[in-house]
Structure formats: structure tokens, C-alpha cells
Amino acid sequence: AQSVTQLDSHVSVSEGTPVLLRCNYSSSYSPSLFWYVQHPNKGLQLLLKYTSAATLVKGINGFEAEFKKSETSFHLTKPSAHMSDAAEYFCVVSAVGGNTPLVFGKGTRLSVIA
């Protein structure tokens, strides 16, 4: 069975400061890991994905995530927050091999203060 735990339900940062959204995963085998973002009243957009090719994954809009197997973590970071980053972020796990359901974390709401 797979699961993800997002350690913060809400994170608030000032514009221009770094962003850190924390995620721990549990999986009995090598997982695929994703971060999705959901802006208010919008659908889900893929930010980045870990597919075992590299432990540091670069995504869209300046976001990165690092896969740390020893810590079972996949934290999302961005060096400098922008107002447009305010949204709900979901850490997601699935089995490698394709065509399997995604398991979502409960989400972290990111607020960016001007």
C-alpha cells in the first residue's frame, strides 16, 4: 500500500522568500512521485514528477523537489515565492509501471503575502 503525508496543511510566506512544502511517502516498492497544483476554482496541473532518473527534479514555474529515499521524503521548494504561486499543492504517489491510480496527500495551502 502507498500513502503520502503532507506535513503542513497551510504555509504562509512573503513574496520573494523561499518556499518549502514538505511531503513524506510510504511505499512498499519504488514509487513514482508527483506534485500537482490546484489554483482556486481550477483543475489540477502537474508541477513535476520523480521517475527514478534523477533525485533532484525540476518542474515548471521554478519549482524543484528532491527525492530522498533514506528519509522517504519528497519536499517541494522554490527559491523565491511569487503572488501567483498562491494555491493548493498536492503530493502524490503511485506505483511505477503506469496505468495505476494516484494516491493524493491532503494538500498544503500556500499563501503568499505581499
Partner 1 sequence: DSGVTQTPKHLITATGQRVTLRCSPRSGDLSVYWYQQSLDQGLQFLIQYYNGEERAKGNILERFSAQQFPDLHSELNLSSLELGDSALYFCASSGGWDHIYNEQFFGPGTRLTVL
Interface residues toward partner 1, by CB under 8 A: 32, 34, 36, 42-46, 49, 51, 90, 94-104, 106-107
Q: Which is nearer to partner 1, 81 or 105 (CB)?
A: 105
d(CA 73, CA 66): 8
Q: Which is nearer to partner 1, 7 or 102 (CB)?
A: 102
Q: Which is nearer to partner 1, 9 or 70 (CB)?
A: 9
The three cell numbers locating residue 71: 528519509
Give me the phi and psi of 84, to 5 degrees please.
-70, -5
